[in-house]
Structure 1
Amino acid sequence: MEDRRAVKTKRAIRKAFLELLEQKNINRISVVEISKLADLGRGTFYLHYKDVYELMEHLENELIDNLGELYCASFHCDHTMNILKFTETLTQYMESNRKVFLVLARTDNGGRTMEKIKHFFHQKLLSDNSNVITELDVAEVLFSVAGVFGVLEAWLKDDMTTPYQSVSEMLHHVLIKLETC
C-alpha cells in the first residue's frame, strides 16, 4: 500500500496533467509543465512515471480496471436486470469521471482510450462465456460492444448533455431488444 504522501503527489500530477490535456495535445505537454502546475519538482514526477505517455497509460489502465470492477459487481448472476444495473453503473461512473473521459477520449490525445476500453469488454465478455465460442458469438460480442461504446462515445462528444439515466435506459432497451432477437 502506498503512503499518503505518494498518493497525494500522484493525485497532484494527474490533476495537472488532465488540466494540460484540456488545453493541448499530449505530444505538446512536458514533464516540466506538469511538475510546475502540480507544484512539484521534475524529479518527483520521475519517481512515479517514466514520461507523460506512461502517465496517460496509467490513467487509461486505472479507468479500465474500475470499469472491470463495475462489470463484475453488476453481473454476478445471469439476469436481464443486471444489464440495466450495469448500464446505470457505467453511465453514472462516466458522468462522475466526466473530465477524465472527455479528455482521455479525445482523438487528438491519441484516441486510444475508447479502443482500449472496447477491447477490454470484448475480451471480458468472451472469457465470461468460455463454453464453446462460435464465430457468431464473437460477432455478437463485437456488435454489442461497438454499439454500446458507439452510443457512449457520441454522448461524450455531445459533452454529456443528456442525463446518464436517459443514456442508461436507451442502452438497456437496445440490449434487451438484441437479447430477445
Structure 2
Amino acid sequence: MSRTEGGPAAGDRRVRRTHAALRSALIRLAEDRELSQISVADVAGQAGVSRSTFYDHYRDVHELAEAACTGMIDELVDVMTALGGDPETGDPLGSLQTFFAALAEHASLYRSLLGPQGSARVIDHIRRRMAAAALQRSTGKSTATPDDPHNVPAAFVAGAIVGVAADWLQRDCAHTPSEMAKLTWPILSVCHFDAHPSAPRPRP
C-alpha cells in the first residue's frame, strides 16, 4: 500500500492527482521496457514531479506498479463481474476477451507482477476480487464473511483465471485475447455451470 493511501490525506484531491500521474507515467514507461528497467527517476520525470514527491507516496517502483495494477484490475473486474457476461451482451466469452485484452494492453507490466518473481500481493488481489465477484453473482452477496462456507467454485474459477493469465503473459501472449477466451471458457464453464445451474450458457 502507498504511504498515503488509507491515511487521513488519502482523500485529498492533490494526493489523488499525484497518484494518478505517477501510475499513468509508469504505465507509459512499461510499454517500452520491463519493470526492472524502470527507475524512480524515470517515473518522476515522466510524471513531471520530483523524486522526493515520488517517495512521499511510494517506497519504490515495484510498490507503485502494484498499486497501478490492482487499481486497473478493480475496474476490470467491476465490468466483468467474474464471468457474469458483458454488461450489454450477457456473453461470458465477451467478458473473458475483455479481461485478456486489458492484460495484453499492459503486458510488460502484468508479466513482471504475475511472473515467477512477481508480486504475491497483486496475484492475491486478483484472485480475491474475482472470487468475490463470482460469490456476488451466485449468492447476491457483495462480500464474504467468516460465517460463510468456503465457496470452492468461486475460488477455483478465480485461481484458474490467474494461473492461465500468468502463463499466457510469460509466453508473450502467444494467442490473441479472443482465442484465449475461446480456449479458457469451455474449461471454466464446467465448474461455473455445475455450481450455478442458473448461470447463462455461452452462446454457440
| TM-score, normalisation: structure 2 | 0.64
Root mean square deviation, CA, Å: 3.8
**C-alpha distance in 1 between matches for 2:128 and 2:82:** 19
Shift in CA distance, 158/35, structure 1 to aligned 2, threshold 3 Å:
same
Higher normalized helix content (fraction of residues): 1
**Mapped contact 2:34–2:108 kept (Cα < 8 A):** no
Shift in CA distance, 85/33, structure 1 to aligned 2, threshold 3 Å:
closer
**C-alpha distance in 2 between matches for 1:180 and 1:166:** 21
Match of 1:176 among 172, 185, 189: 189
Structure 2 residues without counterparts, runs of 5 or longer? 1-12, 195-204
* Number of equivalenced pairs: 172
Structure 1 residues without counterparts, runs of 5 or longer? none
Paired-residue identity, %: 18
Match of 1:123 among 126, 132, 140: 132
Match of 1:108, SS state, is coil
**C-alpha distance in 2 between matches for 1:61 and 1:179:** 24
Alignment of 1:60-71 (within 5 A): 60-71=69-80
Match of 2:109, SS state, is helix
**C-alpha distance in 2 between matches for 1:10 and 1:176:** 35
2:113 is the counterpart of 1:104: yes
Counterpart of 1:152? Answer: 165
**Mapped contact 1:88–1:164 kept (Cα < 8 A):** yes
Letter in 1 for 2:159: A
Counterpart of 1:21? Answer: 35
- Structure 1, residues 83-119: CA drift from partner, whole Å, max 9, x if none? 1111111111111221221122233243432222011
Shift in CA distance, 16/165, structure 1 to aligned 2, threshold 3 Å:
closer
Match of 2:172, SS state, is coil
- Structure 1, residues 96-144: CA drift from partner, whole Å, max 9, x if none? 2212211222332434322220111112211332369985x71111222
Q: How far off its partner does 1:155 sit?
A: 0.8
**Mapped contact 1:92–1:164 kept (Cα < 8 A):** yes
